[in-house]
Amino acid sequence: MAIDRLDVLGTYLLQDLIEQHRAAHPADVIGPYRHLIASYLAETGNKYRYSYAVRHVKALRAIHHQLDTPDEFTDYLHDLRAEHKRKTSFLAQLDKAGLGT
């Protein structure tokens, strides 16, 4: 996956590419998933952006579990929550999804 070109892909195309590569190369999709999550959190005018971001955070958690790197995921989640601490609706959705601190 061309990680250095993620900025030119739309979110739907990026999602498709991630899903195509996830099974065979789970470690290679961690960066793209993080980029996708950041893209959704940066959007405005999309009332579903937090739901989409949470769905992808859950997928990222599953990948880290598969790769036996839960500490890396925990660090990412902690940083994500700290960076978006003012987005209380997003944090509430993370909590509801079992992605609390």
Q: Which of 25, 100, 93, 46 is nearest to 33 (CA)?
A: 25
- Tell me the pLDDT tens digit for each residue of 47-100: 999 999 999 999 999 999 999 999 999 999 999 999 999 999 999 999 999 998
Q: Which of 96, 89, 99 is nearest to 64 (CA)?
A: 99
- Tell me the pLDDT tens digit for each residue of 12-21: 788 888 888 8
Question: 0.95 exceeded by the pTM?
Answer: no
Residue given tokens 């952006």 in the structure block: 49
pLDDT at 37 > cutoff 50 = yes
CB 32 within 8 Å of CB 72: no
